[in-house]
Chains A and B, each alone.
Chain A
Amino acid sequence: DTAVSQTPKYLVTQMGNDKSIKCEQNLGHDTMYWYKQDSKKFLKIMFSYNNKELIINETVPNRFSPKSPDKAHLNLHINSLELGDSAVYFCASSQAGGTEYFGPGTRLTVL
């Protein structure tokens, strides 16, 4: 009965590789988000989708591409991974006017 789930939980990869992180929510929410949390625990929004439509797109390198196949899923694909991409990536969801519920995070390490 997990509300917001992400896979994988841990991801270790080499520089230059392409990887994807998947997110699913079973709360019936219409808005989903991707956040990046750096080593100093600073949490910053990257993208937001409402009903599969991109509504927030922060200053993120275009190597990062979100994809929302339906309201319950928001995946994040990262091309040409760099050392600075190492962080914990959190997916979140909310209903209109409601609060955000976060997933458990994906810890990405780029070697």
Chain B
Amino acid sequence: QKEVEQDPGPLSVPEGAIVSLNCTYSNSAFQYFMWYRQYSRKGPELLMYTYSSGNKEDGRFTAQVDKSSKYISLFIRDSQPSDSATYLCAMSEGSSNTGKLIFGQGTTLQVKP
């Protein structure tokens, strides 16, 4: 069993839909949770960063962490075709240079105009 599980999709939604992306994990020591977006043939770029449990909002994006359930989510409101990409969750026990990042497999999202 992988430490971080993420449904690879693909997930296809119409423009304007609310998108929910999720990851589950098994290591209760994870404290730092991130969402990266990766466009085709590009490197991952950080979207959201959360420490411990709770919600964080940034524009159309909301990240949620539920440590009791070992479950994290990324919500995208009013989805746009430009949101079409692969979304990777990542987590670590420590901060970036003391704890390695463990990635989920990534969910491929397509937003249709």
Contact = CB atoms under 8 A, between A and B. Distances in A.
Interface of A: 4, 30-31, 40-45, 48, 50, 55-56, 58, 90, 92, 94-105, 107
Contacts of B44: 43, 90, 102
Contact of B41 (A58, A95, A105): A105
A43 B100 contact: no
A43 B104 CA distance: 8
Interface string B47-91: 001000000000000000000000000000000000000101000
B14 to A, nearest CB: 24
Which bucket holds chain B's interface residue count?
Answer: 20 to 34
Contact of A102 (B45, B49, B96): B45
Given A104-B43, A105-B41, A41 B8 contact: yes
A96 B105 CA distance: 26
Contacts of A96: 95-97
B46 interface: yes
Contacts of A58: 100
